[in-house]
């Protein structure tokens, strides 16, 4: 069998990373190497030509997932006129029926936290998850009304709010198809935004 070119090998690796980023959010870190390679249109046997271990790939895939989320969050806040509008854009963009129904393309916090918690302390994916979480906390902290005068207070508010966002999405997914699911998301939006208009407001997916 002829050797693939360096360019083709690079394309194959990128395809594996993209597929893994989607699949680990859909199925968790337990997804098999065969399924990861199959999703990229490649055979199981080629895996170790690209990665030393499945753990290496899952850490890379987790990093891609967080980078996707951070890009979306920054894009949502970019056009906001003030901190309150930026925060509202993040909340309404996160707690949506789209994100509830499409874990493979949405937030890795809500899909991977439980799996990452079961990984060994030294597992690369734990560090990647923590770094990605810190990035998103920083974005949310920056849009807190008190952030300019009280950075510590802004971070504390962001920690509480990101916990509410992620918890609400996890519970909404677990109850999808029941009225409770919508109630959970609406209640979280009201709690975070503090206005009645938050109850049914959803931002378009971006």
The pLDDT score that the predictor gives to residue 204 is 44
The pLDDT score that the predictor gives to residue 78 is 94
Task: Confirm or reject CATH 1.10.357.10 for domain 6-198, answering yes or no.
Answer: yes
> When comparing pLDDT for 195 and 144, which is higher?
144
Q: Is the pTM of this model over 0.85?
A: yes
pLDDT at 1 over 60: no
The pLDDT score that the predictor gives to residue 4 is 66
> When comparing pLDDT for 201 and 186, which is higher?
186
The pLDDT score that the predictor gives to residue 166 is 98
The pLDDT score that the predictor gives to residue 44 is 72
The pLDDT score that the predictor gives to residue 203 is 53
Average pLDDT, the chain: 89
Sign of CA dihedral 160, 166, 170, 175: positive
What are 50-92's pLDDT values in tens digits? 888 999 999 999 999 999 999 999 999 998 999 999 999 999 9
> When comparing pLDDT for 199 and 33, which is higher?
33
SS3 state of residue 5:
coil
Task: Kindly state the percentage of the chain with pLDDT values over 90.
Answer: 70
């Amino acid at each position: 069998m002829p050797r693939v070119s360096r360019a083709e090998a690079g394309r194959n690796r990128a395809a594996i990373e993209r597929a893994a980023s989607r699949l680990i959010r859909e199925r968790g870190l337990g997804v098999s190497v065969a399924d990861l390679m199959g999703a990229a249109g490649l055979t199981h046997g080629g895996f170790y030509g690209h990665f030393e271990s499945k753990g290496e790939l899952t850490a890379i895939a987790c990093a891609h997932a967080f980078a996707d989320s951070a890009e979306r969050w920054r894009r949502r806040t970019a056009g906001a006129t003030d901190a309150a509008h930026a925060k509202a854009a993040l909340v309404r963009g996160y707690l949506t029926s789209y994100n509830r129904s499409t874990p493979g393309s949405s937030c890795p916090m809500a899909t991977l936290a439980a799996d990452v918690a079961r990984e060994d302390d030294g597992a690369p994916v734990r560090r990647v998850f923590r770094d990605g979480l810190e990035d998103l906390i920083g974005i949310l902290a920056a849009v807190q009304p008190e952030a300019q005068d009280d950075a510590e207070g802004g971070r504390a508010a962001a920690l509480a709010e990101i916990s509410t966002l992620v918890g609400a999405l996890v519970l909404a997914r677990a109850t999808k198809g029941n009225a409770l699911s919508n109630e959970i998301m609406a209640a979280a939006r009201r709690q975070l935004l503090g206005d009645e208009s938050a109850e049914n407001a959803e931002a378009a997916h971006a």
